[in-house]
Amino acid sequence: MTGNPLKPPKQPLKTPKRQWSISDFDIGKPLGKGKFGRVYLAREIKSNYIVALKVVFKEQIEKYRLHHQLRREMEIQTGLRHPNVLRLYGWFHDDERIFLILEYAHGGELYKELRKLGNLSERKAATYIASLTQALAYCHEKHVIHRDIKPENLLLDHEGRLKIADFGWSVQSRSKRHTMCGTLDYLAPEMVENKAHDWAVDNWTLGVLCYEFLYGVPPFEAESQKDTFRRIMKVDLSFPSSPDICAEAKDLISRLLVKDSSKRLSLEKIMEHPWIVKNVNPVCPK
C-alpha cells in the first residue's frame, strides 16, 4: 500500500453517491484484532485517503445476536463530528463481512502508551481528561451516552490528539437506561447495582480514568470480580503515597467518584477545575 499515513489529505474523506466496495481500497497491515473481527490500515484509491477498515464477520453477528447493537453503533458514530471523536465515514458489506470505514488514528490505543509508561504526568493526564470532557460534553448534548470509556477505546492521532472510539455500548436517549454494560473496572455504582442510569455514568468513568492515568491502575481494582463490585459500591477510594500527586488532582477525582450520580462534578465544572486550568496544554501533550 502506498501513501503516507502521517500526512492524510486536508480534505476529509467524501462519501460517494455510489455504494462503497472492497475494490475501492488498497488493504495494508493489520492494526488490531477483536472478538468479532479485525481492523486494517487501508487507502481509498480514488482520493489516496488513509483510513482504518474494521471488518466484522456476519457469522459472529448472527452467533451473538449483535444486529441491533452494531446498527446502533454505526448510526450514532456516523452522526458525530468532533475533533476528539473518531469519525465513522461509512460502511458497506459483502456476503460474509461488514466493513466500517473509520478515521485512522496513527498513535494507536492510549492503553498501550499507559502500559509502556506506567503512569502519565499530571500535565499529560489533565490534557487528555480535558479533551475527553469536551468530547463527552458534545456527545451528551446530542443525548449520546458512551458507557464504555476506557484506555483501550481511546486512540491518539498523528499529532497526539485523543479520539474516543468504539461506540458499541453507546445509546442515544433522553431517558434513563437499565442495561448493565461496559467494562468491570469502569462501571459506575448505579450500573453495578442494576439501577437506572444516565449520562452521569460517563462522568464517573472520567474519575476512574483520571486516577488510572496518574497512578497506573484503576482505583477499584481487586483480585476478584466480586471484590471489585464491592469496592465500587462502597466507593472504596484511596490514594497511594507514590507517585506523589497534587491535592488538586485528588480533589477532582474525589468529586467525580461520588456514589450519588446527581452530585458528581458536571463536565462544565471539570473544565473550570483548578487542576485542569493549571495543567492543560492548549496544543497537544508531549
Per-residue confidence (pLDDT) for residue 173, from 0 to 100: 82
Let me know if 236 is a catalytic residue: no
Q: Give all domains of the chain, ordered by start, each with its CATH number.
A: 22-103 (3.30.200.20), 108-279 (1.10.510.10)
Q: Distance (Å, rounded) from C-alpha 188 to C-alpha 212?
A: 15
Q: Distance (Å, rounded) from C-alpha 127 to C-alpha 122?
A: 8
Q: Distance (Å, rounded) from C-alpha 116 to C-alpha 138?
A: 30
List, as residue ranges, the binding site for ATP.
Answer: 35, 54, 58, 103-105, 152-153, 166
Element of type H or E holding 56: strand 49-57
What sign does the dihedral 10-11-15-16 (CA atoms) show?
negative
DSSP 3-state of 49: strand
CA distances from 57 to 9, 66, 198 (A): 30, 11, 31
Spell out the alpha helix ranges (H) of 161-244: 189-192, 200-215, 225-234
Q: List Cβ neighbours of 114 (8 Å cut-off, separation of 6 or more).
A: 120, 151, 212, 213, 216
Per-residue confidence (pLDDT) for residue 181, from 0 to 100: 72
Per-residue confidence (pLDDT) for residue 15, from 0 to 100: 55
Cβ–Cβ under 8 Å, residues 182 and 146: no
Per-residue confidence (pLDDT) for residue 174, from 0 to 100: 76
Cβ–Cβ under 8 Å, residues 44 and 90: no
Helix, strand, coil percentages in the chain from 3-state DSSP, rounded to 5: 40, 20, 40
Q: Distance (Å, rounded) from C-alpha 4 to C-alpha 116?
A: 26
Per-residue confidence (pLDDT) for residue 10, from 0 to 100: 44
Residues 24, 148, 185, 198: which is the catalytic one?
A: 148
Residue appearing with cell numbers 475527553: 132
Per-residue confidence (pLDDT) for residue 99, from 0 to 100: 97
Per-residue confidence (pLDDT) for residue 8, from 0 to 100: 44
Per-residue confidence (pLDDT) for residue 35, from 0 to 100: 72
Q: pLDDT tens string for the chain (286 positions)? A: 544 433 444 455 665 445 899 999 999 999 988 777 899 999 999 999 999 999 999 999 998 888 888 999 999 999 999 999 999 999 999 999 999 999 999 999 999 999 999 999 999 999 999 999 999 999 999 999 998 999 999 999 999 999 999 998 888 987 777 676 778 999 999 999 989 888 999 999 999 999 999 999 999 999 999 999 999 999 999 999 999 999 999 999 999 999 999 999 999 999 999 999 999 965 444 4
Element of type H or E holding 68: helix 67-78
Cβ–Cβ under 8 Å, residues 92 and 53: no
Q: Distance (Å, rounded) from C-alpha 76 to C-alpha 142?
A: 10
Cβ–Cβ under 8 Å, residues 257 and 219: yes
